[in-house]
Chains A and B, each alone.
Chain A
Amino acid sequence: MSELPAKSKVVVIGAGIVGSCLVGHLSQLGWTDIVLIDKGPLPNPGGSTGHASNFIFPVDHNKEMALLGVQSANQFRDLGLSVDSGGIEVARTEARMHELARRMTSAKAWGVEASLLTPGEVKELVPFINEEVILGGFYCSSVSVVDSLETGTQMRNLALEQEALKVFANTEVLDLITEETPIEGQTKIKAVVTDKGTIEAEYVVIACGVWSNRIANLAGAYIPLVPAVHQMADVGPMDVLAETNNEIGYPIVRDMDTFCYERQSSGSMEVGSYGHRAILHHPDEIPSNDAAALSPTEMPFTPDDFDPQMETAIELMDMLGDAEIKYAINGLLSLTPDTMPCLGEIPEVRNLWSAAAVWVKEGPGMAQVVAEWMTHGYPRVIDAHGADIARFYEEEKSDEHIWARATEHFVKTYGIVHPAEQWAGRRNLQVSPYFSRQEALGAEFFAARTWERPQWYQSNADLVQRYELQEREVEWDNRWWSPISTGEHLNLRENCGLVDLSAFQIYELTGPGAVAFADHLAVNKVDKPVGSSVYTPWLTPDGGFHSDLTMMRTAENTVQIVTGVFDGGRDQFWVKKLMPQDGSVAFANITLDVTTLGLWGPNAPAVLAQLTDQDLSQAGSPYGSLRTVILQTASGPIEATLFRISYVGDTGWEIYTAWGNGPALWDALVVAGADLGLRPTGGGVYGTSGRLEKGYRLMGNELESEYSPVEAGLARPKVKASDFIGKEAYLKARQDGPEVQMCTLTVEDHTDSAGRKRFMMGGNEPLLTLDGARIVDSHGRASRVCSAGPGPSVGKHLLLGYLPNELAVIGTDLQVMYQNEYFPVKVGAIDGSVFDPEDSRLKS
């Protein structure tokens, strides 16, 4: 074996499915001088890949997970290391049958062939199943079984053949060395210290699976994941399986309601479980390769945890009961606090990348994402913002948080998880200055990463009677929703609403280079007079959306950036990694210095006028302007900034003031609004109904890196002269024109086959032609519901989605699939709003 080189371009740590595929993809993208190291032997270094059950169910409700699953399955197929075994998710309960209908909907969205089976039809495919305990099944013929270890070998060989790679097995990382950068709180990776020597590297990628956080910690960085047990037992032999003379001859069965699967492995059956208690380990508890009886990640089996699953497995397949348990492990896999993987550059350390918390089923695709990200500055195969490691806030990186959230969601691995489902534990990590007042008003809090935001207020329950509103008929549609929210919406349109916007993430750029740097980030012009604001996309180098936010020029050399709580971490890192290192710009996160209240509705000016002498007319406080004012409160005068803007379609302001002034401001507005119909108003109006009536796009829903501002309808008539990230691609997109356009659709009939009214959630429901065909553009992007919710002021349920130009015509009749049924929809607006399309109310 050759000596470890003293230097290389990139070191990838970890030769499991992810690290091995990553070096293959990097070499395909032109990278050379790559070093891959692993502390274990090859081809099975002892991580989770070595004991993976290696099957891929290509349907997931989450777009990133679904499409990267399909992408990965195809990469395995292209290598000839995959068999389409088919797979069936069986239901034992009515709730699960409902979920299977939802699976059908997601299958349609992503273009995966699937069908619902009767118990008898399940038995035809799996003759040894007890069809009496199931109600039906969800069958997917493209479920595949892959050879992950051989795939890793071949992907490494791809890079080796190009002489782009050197591989060092049995080489353990002892330390990561970083160097200072001019940016506060950010270092840069310099070298990897191993037991075979030290190697300097420009880039280092951590693809160490369950060990990733421990390795990241060596550099003062975090990859928030925890090793968790997934129990598996191999039972057999059984004649019916042996007779197939095949590694896998029968479809894989996922017994969803018992959180188990049964997967043939030659003459035996592998029974895997997610039904046991969450069993988490600290990475230091994982034995070394030498000290492990099997492999390090095949921990000693704890049979007591598995017994209940055995009973249910035997119930489903009686033959399992008499077969011998030949091999059983507590296999380790990675769990993150929010269930999504950890991909991308790690915010704490420049050029240190994470490719972790990735399972075999999405390994090759996610390796491709990271390789493209490193190459092009952003992934191309898919928008991966949900997996971006920069999404985490500090509080989400602690072991306490990781363990608590992993414990809570492990048992939902096969669970029925509502799109709006809220976390039970680790709440109230960050609350606004109004929290105690909101609790007293009976606020129903929804968590937005670490922040708590009221979704609606029980104190507004009287609005349900006033506006004659109703609960939704089907419990699923009604879950995590309330007609109170619709009441708050109608009251805002009639009177006014007070919305807590404290979760806004606010950053400040200062210094002589601040405005120029801000303009380098933004599509729209920031270099405008002090007191101006701009709503603008930030683009990826390829011209897709990285962010969508507001920038305010608050002083000659100061720009404030206001972004949403779901994007704060990503946006902060984007700024810090791109900002000049010559000291001309300083960055500060002032989120906790500032609190924001939204005051909107026709009575908003009359309410605010009681607190200030400022001219609140469009002349004195024009739309888009910033005005610093003194507001009179019971606690005395306070300074505030009035930002005339609206995300709900009625006139009003975002009012910014010092965090400590918040309670006084809230109380003053409540008193001033008492006779003007002011109500505290939740995120259900701000983020959904008010927004959707106006067709306002939301980052992460409508806005993703796969779409350009031209397609999203957010291109301005002119392009500013100065350069900005993604400009070249943006100019081309403007020249080419859109292939798809963002449309608002109205649901024309909610009645399902059982005569019940159903309400789409905005969970990627497919938009379909009247023939029921999928609508897919030349880039393979499917038309789907990006956001959905009520439009109380237009009397219609509203959907936002992209449609190809020929269908993006007001009045076009289409269908949406929801719960495996078709509902008629009509295009109601293109690049605009179905409510007050002239925006007359905004500027009244």
Chain B
Amino acid sequence: MTAEQTSRIDASELRVLVCIKRVPAPGARINLTDDGQRIDTAHLGFAMSPHEECAVEAAIQLTQEAGGEATVLTVGPEEAEEQLRYAVSLGIHKAVLVKTDGEAVNPQRTARAIGAAVAALEAADGPFHLILFGNESADSGGFQVGIRVAVGLGRPIVTAIKGIDLELEAPAITAKREIDGGLEIYKLPTPAVLGVKEGLNLPRYPTMKGRLASKKAEITQFQPGESEPDGLDGQTSLGLIQPPQKASNVVRLGEGPAAAPAVVDLLDELGVL
């Protein structure tokens, strides 16, 4: 591990990067294509993964409080600009699209593409003090990309983070992770990488003015290039299976005040009372 930067961070120079992924909007039942190879996206809306919404919110808050600049990056198709602009509409300053041309991606390739883009961005504008990932993506849930990028860059990473404090003076990052019955608290030097989870904060919605401004935002584009395989692309996706629908049995406990005793019994049974 190399700490490239040990002196205090000048607030105006703070640089935070958030990596996001375009995924089908959560909340809907996800249908599969007939061949079972892909998600049927015909009637789906798209969003960034919920954990990443918290990462974006954290980046905005950190730069709003301390100063500096927050950048959002995604590896994806042209359409992923929608998620980048969404992040910009919330208050992110810069957006980077590492454009894939529809070819299959896997955690290894994605991580290599991000690593290459980070290297290029840092070469141009200086290092990112903090790189944020969602803990895992909402669609494939591999839990890998953030870790692979951190390892590739030779930076420390902690995942499942639900609290971040940035000390510019040190400079250092304090990150909190929830465990059963308590908290784990980590202190990391900068630059560092974190995988964050929902609950870290309450993400904001875009304003109309933010949305309109985001339309004019310039999106930096990178072609991922054919990076050297590192011998780790071993896995092959064989297909997707739709889990059986869980039938939800609605039991009517009664109507109005008459239902109260049954409700109490149920809450008691569930151990809520």
Chain A interface (Cβ within 8 Å of chain B)? 235, 285-288, 290-294, 299-301, 303, 307, 310-311, 313-314, 320-326
Contact A291 B205 (CB under 8 A): no
How far in angstroms is the closest Cβ of chain A from B25? 5
Task: Assess the B45–A285 pair: CB atoms within 8 A.
Answer: no
| Interface size classification for chain B | 20 to 34
In the docked arrangement, what's the CA distance between A292 and B212, Å?
27
- In the complex the two chains form, is A301's CB within 8 Å of B45's CB? yes
What are the residues of chain B within 8 A of A307 when measuring CB–CB? 211-212, 215
With both chains docked as a complex, state the minimum distance between the C-beta of A404 and any C-beta of chain B, in angstroms. Answer: 23
B residues near A (Cβ < 8 Å) are 25-29, 31, 42-46, 82, 204-209, 211-212, 215, 245
Classify the interface of chain B: helix, strand, loop or mixed.
loop
A–B pairs, 21, beta carbons within 8 Å: A285-B42, A286-B43, A290-B245, A291-B29, A292-B28, A293-B27, A293-B28, A293-B45, A299-B45, A300-B25, A300-B43, A300-B45, A303-B82, A310-B211, A321-B207, A321-B208, A322-B209, A323-B207, A324-B204, A324-B205, A325-B211
How close is A314's CB to chain B, nearest CB, in angstroms? 6
Known: A285-B43, A290-B245, A300-B44. A314 touches B25 (CB 8 A): no
Could you tell me the distance between the alpha carbons of A290 and B215 in the complex, rounded to whole angstroms?
33
> In whole angstroms, how far apart are the Cα atoms of A285 and B42 in the complex?
8
Chain B positions within 8 Å of A325 at CB level: 205-208, 211
The 10 nearest A-B residue pairs measured at CB? A300-B45, A293-B27, A324-B205, A293-B28, A321-B209, A291-B29, A310-B208, A290-B29, A321-B208, A326-B205
A291 touches B45 (CB 8 A): no
User: What residues of B have a CB within 8 angstroms of the CB of A314 in the complex?
Assistant: 208-209, 212
Which chain A residue lies CB-closest to B25?
Answer: A293
The reply to whether B205 and A313 contact each other, CB–CB distance below 8 Å, is: no
CA separation between A326 and B205, bound complex, in Å? 6
What is the CB-to-nearest-CB distance from A96 to chain B, in angstroms, rounded to a whole number? Answer: 24
User: A303 near B211 (CB under 8 angstroms)?
Assistant: yes
A313 to B207, CA, bound (A): 13
Q: Contact check, A235 vs B208: say whether CB atoms are below 8 A apart.
A: yes
**Dominant secondary structure at the A interface:** mixed
A294 adjacent to B44 (CB under 8 Å): no
Residues of A within 8 A of B31 (CB): 291
Which residues from B are CB-within-8-Å of A294? 27
Residues of B contacting A290 with CB < 8 Å? 29, 245
Query: CA A326 – CA B215 in complex, angstroms?
Result: 18
Q: How far is the CA of A311 from the CA of B44 in the complex (A)?
A: 27
Complex-state Cα separation, A307 to B206, whole angstroms:
13
Residue of B nearest to A323 (CB): B207
Q: Are A287 and B43 in contact (CB under 8 A)?
A: yes
Question: Chain B contacts of A322 at CB under 8 A?
Answer: 207-209
Looking at the assembled complex, report how far the CB atom of A429 sits from the nearest CB atom of chain B, in whole angstroms. Answer: 32
The interface residues of chain A lying within 8 Å CB-to-CB of B208 are 235, 310, 313-314, 320-323, 325
Residues of chain B contacted by A300 (CB below 8 angstroms):
25, 43-46
- Cα–Cα, bound, A425→B60 (Å): 50
- Beyond A285-B43, A323-B207, A326-B205, 17 extra complex contacts between A and B, CB < 8 Å: A285-B42, A287-B28, A287-B43, A288-B29, A290-B245, A291-B31, A299-B45, A300-B43, A300-B46, A301-B45, A307-B211, A310-B211, A313-B208, A314-B208, A314-B212, A320-B208, A325-B205
Chain A residues lying within 8 Å of B207, measured Cβ to Cβ, are 235, 321-325
Closest A residue to B252 by beta carbon equals A1
Query: Inside 8 A of A303's CB, which chain B residues have their CB?
Result: 82, 211
CB distance from B209 to the nearest CB of A (A): 4
CA distance A314 to B245 in the complex (A): 44
Measured CB to CB, the closest approach of chain B to A66, in angstroms, equals 34
In whole Å, how far is B240's beta carbon from the nearest beta carbon of chain A? 16
Q: Which of chain B's residues has its CB closest to A329's CB? A: B45
